[in-house]
């Protein structure tokens, strides 16, 4: 079990200040007010209890808002480009999938299940002290096939059992289509984690060593998003976990019950379900829903501007 240290700090702060707030209301408030009315100096004890207790409403509101309504989240890497960029600051809906213990993330009340295409924040399966953000691709019981040559997906629904790829009566197939590949506005810099945004139509305006990323749309059951591809990279399928051979150049991931298969939109620069396995529902933190500010910056560097055009709902 991983403890959310900031949430624990808020809980402890709320308890301590709450005790001072309650004690002031019960024992000291009347005497304190009388001193003020009579233009007398209130006692130091009254002042201390009033000051510390006065922090209780603020801490309580922050704790409730952050734990059960919305939590701020910063995009640390380019794994979800072009949907989310480094420097984006998000609001994560904490009650989308359930109400959880703010300290341990243990589920208290189920609300709903993630839908395919949702962008979710979760505790990384192999590093639960870290929060990751990816897109939900595979749902419980489904078989997700990823071709590491064509970099395309094929998903068989849970109602298709065994090795057969013929859908039984009443079983709805999952439709996946792709657009033509074209140049993107992003450039992967060699020997670094930086991915720079460049004008369309320019091959290498920066004059540095690197690769221009490609892009295409991926539509799954009518829901479309843009993915980035690096023509210079191909996955080492030996690093894939929880997978089996499906067909030529494809690996199959069978999603367990109450778990999800997630991937980054920047497919060749994303540590996701291919490499760390499935995300249990209990690891989910919430659904990313809104960009409230976006700074123009590279990883580990100071912001150079604000991208006002990016502020708004996340699709």
- Which residues are tagged catalytic? 79, 134
- In the 8-state DSSP scheme, what is residue 266? B
- In the 8-state DSSP scheme, what is residue 237? G
Unique residue bearing structure tokens 């933190």: 285
Nearby residues of 265 by Cβ (< 8 Å), 6 or more positions away: 79, 80, 81, 82, 83, 84, 135, 225, 226, 227, 228
Continuous segment of H or E residues that includes residue 304: none
Closest alpha carbon to 73 in 286, 260, 228: 286
Torsion of CA 206, 210, 215, 220, to 10 degrees: -140
Closest alpha carbon to 122 in 80, 158, 94: 94
Q: How many helices, marked H, and strands, marked E, lie in the chain? A: 5, 20
Q: Any idea how long the chain is?
A: 315
Distance in angstroms (rounded) separating the CA atoms of residues 166 and 295:
48
Distance in angstroms (rounded) separating the CA atoms of residues 168 and 173:
10
* Secondary structure percentages of the chain, helix, strand, coil, to 5: 25, 35, 45
H helices present in 38-112, as ranges: 44-53, 56-64
For residue 208, what are its two tokens? 């540095």
Q: Using an 8 Å Cβ cutoff, are 61 and 88 in contact?
A: no
């Amino acid at each position: 079990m991983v403890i959310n240290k900031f949430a624990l700090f808020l809980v402890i702060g709320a308890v301590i200040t709450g005790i001072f707030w309650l004690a002031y209301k019960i024992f000291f408030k009347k005497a304190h007010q009388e001193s003020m009315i009579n233009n007398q100096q209130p006692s130091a004890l009254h002042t201390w209890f009033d000051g510390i207790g006065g922090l209780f409403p603020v801490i309580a509101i922050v704790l409730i808002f952050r734990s059960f309504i919305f939590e701020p989240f910063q995009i640390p890497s380019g794994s979800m480009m072009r949907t989310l960029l480094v420097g984006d600051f998000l609001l994560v809906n904490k009650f989308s999938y359930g109400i959880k213990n703010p300290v341990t993330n243990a589920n208290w009340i189920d609300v709903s299940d993630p839908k395919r295409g949702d962008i979710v924040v979760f505790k990384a399966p192999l590093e639960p002290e870290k929060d990751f953000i990816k897109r939900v691709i595979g749902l419980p019981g489904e078989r997700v096939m990823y071709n590491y040559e064509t970099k395309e997906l094929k998903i068989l629904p849970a109602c298709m059992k065994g090795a057969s790829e013929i859908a039984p009566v009443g079983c709805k197939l999952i439709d996946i289509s792709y657009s033509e590949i074209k140049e993107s506005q992003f450039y992967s810099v060699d020997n670094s984690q930086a991915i720079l945004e460049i004008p369309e139509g320019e091959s290498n305006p920066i004059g540095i060593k690197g690769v221009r990323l490609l892009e295409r749309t991926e539509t799954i059951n009518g829901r479309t998003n843009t993915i980035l591809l690096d023509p210079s990279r191909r996955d080492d399928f030996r690093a894939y976990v929880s997978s089996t051979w499906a067909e030529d150049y494809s690996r199959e991931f069978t999603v367990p019950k109450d778990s999800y298969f997630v991937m980054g939109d920047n497919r060749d620069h994303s540590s996701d379900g291919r490499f760390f396995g499935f995300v249990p529902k209990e690891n989910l933190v919430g659904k990313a829903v809104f960009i409230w500010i976006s700074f123009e910056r590279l990883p580990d560097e100071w912001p150079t501007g604000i991208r006002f055009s990016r502020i708004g709902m996340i699709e």
